[in-house]
């Protein structure tokens, strides 16, 4: 049923904060929990979602071809072999001549909503046309940011634009959190970022080398059996997104050693 489909924009403003990685992992996690999920790569200039999902060799058509009636939607959708509930649709080809318009994106998201429960739209970086196209196709948004000045500033610009559209809810994911640096107060805290952007927190994702390793393999963490901090975080985000009341991981409780406990003591507010 189209009305029930949740079309969620995954955006950040700044590039490289982890939009695509979140989209891939969230897509797999949602599909794995039984929700039919489509991931739409709206970043057709520099598309990467296919790489993270290990589907780069299986793309034949794009959404543009569907709109031009060169193929059916079924033919353009790339089903994930290990997770049949998940399908990828690249919006366009990097060599594409005509850029898409907001109406095109709306059309695609309408087609997808006839087949899927959740559509995740991986938005290009920036706040220009690519972002506005992707935005016009969505009902909800997840803003991804890092606990860094430039990422938070750009996220703020994006939230400003989202607030003037009728997108809601807008939720926040803080990515690449380093508990040790936060404990040493050498990194903006979760509370800092959240209070500055004043968005409901959907989750945090801990910095984790496994993310790079899984990207190398083209196999999202949520698909693998490895035990990793980031994987746990992605699964949490996925469950919270589907309405389950899972507490957000507190980076302060991540270290269990005596040194970590001492660091926590040093963070206590005295006045």
Contact footprint for other proteins (CB under 8 A): 148-149, 152-153, 156-157, 159-160, 163, 182, 184-189, 192, 195-198, 265-271
Q: Which is nearer to other proteins, 35 or 159 (CB)?
A: 159
> How many residues does this entry show for the chain?
271
Q: Closest separation between CB of residue 263 and other proteins, Å?
A: 9
Choose between 22 and 188: whose C-beta lies nearer to other proteins: 188
Task: Give 248's DSSP letter.
Answer: P
- 28 vs 167, which CB is nearer to other proteins? 167
- What separation in angstroms does the CA of 206 have from each of 24, 125, 232, 233? 16, 22, 9, 7
Least distance CB 197 / other proteins (angstroms):
7
Q: Which is nearer to other proteins, 80 or 176 (CB)?
A: 176
Kindly state the smallest distance separating residue 143's Cβ from other proteins, in Å.
Answer: 12
Which two three-digit tokens encode residue 15?
A: 């590039």
Q: At its nearest, how many Å lie between other proteins and the CB of residue 152?
A: 6
Dump the DSSP string for 172-215: EEEEEE-HHHHHTT-S--HHHHHHHHT--EEEEEE--HHHHHHH
Burial group, residue 146, by CB count within 10 angstroms (0-12, 13-18, 19+): buried
> Minimal distance in Å, beta carbon 251 to other proteins?
13
**Angle 183-231-253 (CA atoms, 0-180°, nearest 5)?**
25
The answer to whether residues 220 and 214 touch, using CB atoms and an 8 Å cutoff, is yes
The smaller minimum CB distance to other proteins, of residues 32 and 180, is found at 180
């Amino acid at each position: 049923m189209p009305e029930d489909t949740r079309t969620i924009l995954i955006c950040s403003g700044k590039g490289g904060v982890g939009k695509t990685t979140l989209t891939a992992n969230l897509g797999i996690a949602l599909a794995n929990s039984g929700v039919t999920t489509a991931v739409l790569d709206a970043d057709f200039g520099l598309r990467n979602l296919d790489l993270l999902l290990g589907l780069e060799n299986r793309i034949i058509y794009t959404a543009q071809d569907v709109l031009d009636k060169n193929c059916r939607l079924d033919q353009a959708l790339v089903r994930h072999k290990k997770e049949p509930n998940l399908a990828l649709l690249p919006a366009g080809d990097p060599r594409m001549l005509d850029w898409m318009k907001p109406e095109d994106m709306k059309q695609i998201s309408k087609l997808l909503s006839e087949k899927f429960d959740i559509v995740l739209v991986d938005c290009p970086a920036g706040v220009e046309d690519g972002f506005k196209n992707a935005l016009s196709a969505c009902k909800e948004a997840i803003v991804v940011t890092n606990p860094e000045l430039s990422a938070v500033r750009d996220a703020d610009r994006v939230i400003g634009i989202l607030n003037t559209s009728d997108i809601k809810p807008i939720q926040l994911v803080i990515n690449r959190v380093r508990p040790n640096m936060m404990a040493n107060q050498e990194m903006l805290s979760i509370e800092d970022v959240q209070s500055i952007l004043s968005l409901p927190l959907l989750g945090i994702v801990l910095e984790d080398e496994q993310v790079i390793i899984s990207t190398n393999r083209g196999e999202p963490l949520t698909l693998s059996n490895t035990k990793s901090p980031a994987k746990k975080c992605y699964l949490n985000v996925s469950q919270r997104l589907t309405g389950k009341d899972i507490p957000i991981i507190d980076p302060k409780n991540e270290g269990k050693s005596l040194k970590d406990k001492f660091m926590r003591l040093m963070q206590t507010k005295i006045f």
